């Protein structure tokens, strides 16, 4: 198929002199005529012809070899190590594709069209950039000389419809009891922080949690590249960072957006991911009346996340460590830690309450912990179990008029 595609692409360019400004329908018809003419000497089935027409159309108007993968709902991640080396993730497992781009220049053209669509720039002087596609998929790009094999692009796809918490319960990510507890905590405006490793499902879980936010509130979301799909709150402002221009000016970072959001009268602020100095601005926002805020961060455990927040906040403010720890202890109420287990399943491993701060940092009290019970047919068996610990910070629940505390105190 790929050999036929390359042969036909060259023939279409040379013989038809295709007008790239033509409407998609006319463009498709001209490609169909070329395929039918070519197939007289190269017999194809009807389905093979249809597939070849689509592949050729996407090579001119879409994302070339990537378009079928973008249209395939079973593909969750696309990894392009070079124009000749492509991998995909399906069901948590990686496999190499036999397909490839016709040239390095073709891959570079697609990269430039992607970043131009979100008003970003990537070149040798700015070789690393985050972007997104029209469907919301997240794109990370690295160009030479940083990428030694050639242009590199990683695409993280998201479902067209965000998963609900009930669906995550059905998938075994957490129990119904834990989901009900989190629902109450979000409604009562507890500040929640979601931690986990790469690909553990932090953004998916954050989307699910956001569905518990009352629809009469005003929400401001802040992200490097817009990924969140909050559809239950009509009063929503979505902010996205901006890279510096070719002259090194005009950058708008996450901490700039956090400061700007405080003047927008938000009921809650949602920071898609905290990575650096903006941690101190997020903590100060949580500590100055913006309860119910949500955010995520990379860490190997809930305890590690607290330590990382210390480091990030210290890089953004000239404050003593004890003060930073106190801010973390008072700003964050609940930490939810996710992980991707050896069977590739994504699970909630821990839900902990932050009960203050001491000399060793924020003090965590686990409310739920994942207990593994073995394996069956290669799948990890286990569930999130309630610990004997009694929740201490219950005043927000009372302020929210939630009188039944069995789920969080039992």
Pairing of strands 361-376, 379-386: antiparallel
Q: Are residues 282 and 388 in the same domain?
A: yes
Q: Which single residue is written with the structure tokens 């198929």?
A: 1
pLDDT tens digits, one per residue of 328-373: 999 999 999 999 998 888 999 999 999 999 888 899 999 999 999 8
Q: Are residues 99 and 186 in the same domain?
A: no
Contact 156, 138 (CB under 8 A): yes
Q: Are residues 203 and 237 in the same domain?
A: yes
Sheet containing strand 152-156, edge to edge, reads: 93-96, 85-90, 75-82, 152-156, 138-142, 128-132
Residue 370: CATH number of its domain: 3.40.50.300
Q: Are residues 147 and 204 in the same domain?
A: no
Q: Are residues 259 and 366 in the same domain?
A: yes
Q: What DSSP line would sit under 333-359, residue for residue?
A: -EEEEEEE-TTS-EEEEEEEEEEEEET
Q: Are residues 401 and 302 in the same domain?
A: yes
Q: Are residues 120 and 185 in the same domain?
A: no
What is the model's pLDDT at position 406? Answer: 47
Return the structure tokens found at 296.
């995520």
Residue 328's CB is within 10 A of a number of other CB atoms, namely: 25
Instruction: Check residue 252 and report its DSSP letter.
Output: B
Q: Are residues 93 and 52 in the same domain?
A: no
What is the model's pLDDT at position 410? Answer: 42
Q: Are residues 236 and 382 in the same domain?
A: yes
Please say which residue of 61, 79, 95 terminates a domain.
Answer: 61
Residues of the chain with pLDDT under 50: 406-410
What is the model's pLDDT at position 119? Answer: 78
What is the model's pLDDT at position 11? Answer: 61
Q: Are residues 210 and 236 in the same domain?
A: yes
φ/ψ region of 248 (left if φ > 0, alpha if ψ in -120 to 50, else beta) reads left
Contact 193, 305 (CB under 8 A): yes
Q: Are residues 82 and 15 in the same domain?
A: no
The domain of 94 spans 62-157
Instruction: Tell me the longest C-alpha to C-alpha distance in the chain.
Output: 79
The domain total for the chain is 3
Q: How many CA atoms lie within 13 A of 158 on its CB side?
A: 24
Is the pTM for the entire model greater than 0.85?
no
CA angle 409, 282, 156 (to 5 degrees): 90
């Amino acid at each position: 198929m790929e050999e036929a595609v390359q042969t036909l692409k060259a023939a279409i360019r040379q013989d038809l002199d295709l007008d790239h400004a033509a409407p998609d329908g006319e463009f498709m018809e001209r490609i169909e005529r070329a395929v039918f003419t070519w197939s007289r000497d190269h017999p194809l089935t009807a389905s093979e012809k249809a597939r070849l027409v689509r592949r050729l159309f996407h090579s001119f108007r879409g994302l070339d070899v990537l378009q079928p993968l973008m249209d395939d709902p079973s593909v969750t991640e696309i990894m392009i190590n070079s124009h000749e080396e492509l991998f995909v993730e399906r069901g948590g497992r990686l496999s190499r594709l036999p397909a490839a781009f016709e040239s390095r220049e073709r891959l570079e053209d697609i990269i430039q069209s992607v970043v131009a669509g979100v008003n970003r720039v990537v070149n040798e002087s700015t070789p690393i950039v985050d972007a997104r596609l029209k469907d919301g998929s997240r794109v990370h790009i690295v160009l030479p000389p940083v990428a030694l094999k050639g242009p590199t692009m990683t695409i993280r796809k998201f479902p067209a419809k965000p998963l609900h918490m009930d669906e995550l319960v059905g998938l075994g990510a957490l129990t119904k009891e834990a989901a009900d507890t989190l629902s109450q905590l979000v409604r009562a405006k507890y500040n929640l922080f979601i931690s986990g490793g790469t690909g553990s499902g932090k953004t998916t879980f954050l989307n699910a949690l956001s569905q518990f936010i009352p629809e009469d509130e005003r929400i401001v979301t802040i992200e490097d590249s817009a990924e969140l799909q909050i559809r239950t709150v009509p009063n929503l402002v979505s902010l996205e960072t901006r890279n510096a221009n070719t002259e090194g000016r005009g950058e708008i970072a996450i901490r700039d957006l956090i400061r700007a959001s405080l003047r927008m009268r938000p009921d809650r602020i949602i920071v898609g991911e905290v990575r650096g100095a903006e941690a101190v601005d997020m903590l100060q926002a949580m500590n100055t009346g913006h309860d119910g805020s949500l955010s995520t961060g990379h860490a190997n455990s809930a305890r590690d996340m607290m330590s990382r927040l210390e480091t990030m906040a210290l890089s953004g403010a000239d404050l003593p460590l004890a003060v930073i720890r106190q801010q973390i202890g008072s700003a964050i109420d609940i930490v939810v830690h996710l992980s991707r287990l050896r069977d590739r399943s994504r699970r909630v491993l821990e839900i902990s309450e932050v009960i203050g701060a001491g000399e060793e940092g924020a003090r965590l009290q686990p409310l739920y912990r994942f207990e593994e019970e073995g394996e069956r047919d290669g799948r990890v068996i286990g569930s999130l179990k309630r610990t004997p610990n009694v929740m201490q910070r219950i005043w927000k629940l009372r302020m929210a008029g939630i009188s039944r505390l069995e789920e969080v105190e039992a």
